[in-house]
């Protein structure tokens, strides 16, 4: 006879609890783990004596009966009480002008999340892989990782002919683990502790895990975002605050549609595009959101003889913006001075009205010749 159970996530997997209080632990090596991971919340898991499991809706309110009625304890935090390792505030420079573009401190900041969106062919993977290499070349003690869910080893071999200095970059090819458990592969890899991780792409990683591990889309996204947040906080073997640069795919309308959680956890949102039309020679990066640096500044780059950044143009644009800001401030100050000098002057209408009132009150002398 089947026994109904509620289920919940634990640190090692899932816990099934029957109506009589007995529990069943399901770890990742259990044959029903992936099946349970694909179940929607608040489903009742029916366990048969032979080990078979089915699920059904909670028609009898089993979850409500097991819900705690204890009052929730809320702990408030004071900023002065927060304690962080000093490494969190030390940037990872690339040794290029792009450092000024990514943060006011100069480089990638630990524990941050940068989302990079752009049309196919603009060069997202190329320019970001080059920056990944630059970080390691400038800071040999920093560990960098490329997670590729879109390209296989053959695809990267073609890149290597153009960019041989990428040869020592560690790469996790998810296509090598389609018959395994890509979820566990990603978890164990990230747990090694990486300073900077480039992911190509967010959508493909989620789709691969979803299909191979039989998860729903919402569960897959929650798993991946929670994993990124944990790594941001240094929950790995090296206890480093991992920074993620994640490539996003765009919809047909040219926008990325993601969950609110993704938008909230994003430190910076970057767009890569062409100036002057698709496939033009002018490519640029631009932040529409950046909690660590400036927004609205274009960093132009090209692939002539490798990956290069137009430092002169970027510096010139910064100078022009500074001059415009200074001019606006001068105009505002002049407007304020003008108002202070002339703001109290009365209009002709106001003067005429006051004169009429004084005449009625007999305050004005009569005109000559009048009685």
Q: How far is CA 266 from CA 147, 186, 269, 288, 352, in A?
A: 19, 20, 7, 12, 62
pLDDT of 194 reads 97
Contact partners, residue 100, CB within 8 Å, separation at least 6: 106, 293, 314
pLDDT of 181 reads 87
Q: What is the DSSP letter of 108?
A: B
Kindly report, residue by residue over 163-217, the tens digit of the pLDDT. Answer: 889 999 999 999 888 778 899 999 999 999 999 999 998 888 988 888 888 888 8
pLDDT of 94 reads 95
Tokens of 102: 């990514």
Round to whole Å and give the CA distance between 24 and 141: 45
Q: What is the pTM of this model?
A: 0.70
pLDDT of 306 reads 87
Round to whole Å and give the CA distance between 275 and 4: 61
Round to whole Å and give the CA distance between 274 and 119: 9
How would you write the pLDDT of the chain (371 residues) with one tens digit per residue?
A: 788 999 888 888 899 998 788 889 999 888 888 888 888 888 889 998 888 899 888 888 888 776 555 677 888 888 888 888 888 999 999 999 999 999 999 999 999 999 999 888 889 999 999 999 999 999 999 999 999 998 888 888 888 888 889 999 999 999 888 778 899 999 999 999 999 999 998 888 988 888 888 888 888 888 999 999 999 999 999 999 999 999 987 666 666 666 677 878 899 999 998 887 666 678 999 999 999 999 999 999 998 888 999 888 888 887 777 677 667 777 776 666 666 666 666 677 777 777 777 777 766 555 444 44
Phi, psi (degrees; rounded to nearest 5) at 357: -65, -45
Kindly report, residue by residue over 207-249, the tens digit of the pLDDT. Answer: 888 888 888 888 888 899 999 999 999 999 999 999 999 998 7
The stretches of the chain forming alpha helices (DSSP H) are 33-37, 62-66, 98-102, 124-138, 153-162, 182-190, 202-213, 217-232, 260-265, 311-342, 348-360
Query: Cβ(242)–Cβ(88) under 8 Å?
Result: no
pLDDT of 255 reads 64
Of 58, 64, 34, 61, which Cα lies nearest the Cα of 44? 58
pLDDT of 114 reads 96
Tokens of 54: 């089915």
Domains and CATH numbers, the chain: 3-62 (no CATH), 84-313 (3.40.50.300)
pLDDT of 371 reads 44
Look-up of token digits 């002539």: 304
């Amino acid at each position: 006879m089947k026994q109904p159970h509620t289920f919940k996530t634990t640190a090692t997997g899932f816990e099934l609890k029957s109506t009589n209080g007995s529990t069943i632990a399901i770890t990742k090596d259990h044959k029903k783990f992936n099946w349970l991971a694909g179940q929607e919340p608040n489903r009742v898991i029916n366990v048969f004596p032979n080990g078979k499991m089915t699920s059904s809706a909670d028609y009898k309110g089993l979850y409500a009966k097991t819900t705690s009625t204890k009052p929730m304890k809320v702990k408030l935090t004071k900023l002065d009480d927060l304690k962080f390792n000093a490494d969190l505030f030390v940037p990872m420079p690339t040794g290029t002008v792009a450092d000024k573009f990514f943060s006011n401190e100069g480089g990638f900041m630990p524990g941050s999340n940068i989302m990079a969106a752009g049309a196919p062919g603009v060069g997202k993977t190329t320019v970001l892989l080059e920056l990944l290499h630059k970080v390691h070349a400038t800071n040999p003690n920093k560990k960098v990782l490329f997670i590729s869910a879109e390209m296989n080893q053959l695809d990267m071999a073609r890149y290597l002919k153009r960019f041989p200095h990428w040869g020592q970059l560690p790469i996790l090819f998810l296509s090598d683990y389609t018959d395994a458990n890509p979820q566990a592969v990603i978890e164990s890899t990230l747990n090694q502790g990486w300073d900077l991780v480039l992911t190509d792409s967010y959508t493909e990683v989620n789709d691969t895990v979803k299909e191979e591990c039989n998860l729903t889309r919402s569960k897959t996204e929650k798993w991946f975002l929670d994993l990124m947040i944990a790594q941001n906080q240094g929950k790995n073997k090296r206890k480093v605050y991992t920074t993620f640069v994640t490539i996003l795919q765009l919809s047909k309308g040219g926008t990325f549609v993601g969950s609110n959680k993704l938008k909230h956890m994003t430190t910076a949102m970057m767009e890569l595009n062409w100036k002057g039309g698709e496939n033009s020679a002018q490519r640029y990066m631009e932040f529409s959101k950046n909690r660590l640096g400036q927004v609205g500044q274009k960093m132009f780059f090209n692939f002539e003889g490798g990956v290069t950044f137009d430092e002169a143009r970027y510096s010139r644009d910064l100078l022009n913006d500074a001059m415009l800001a200074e001019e606006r401030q001068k105009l505002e100050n002049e407007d304020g001075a003008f108002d202070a000098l002339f703001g109290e002057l009365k209009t002709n209408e106001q003067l005429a009205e006051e004169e009429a009132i004084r005449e009625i009150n007999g305050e004005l002398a009569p005109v000559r010749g009048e009685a």
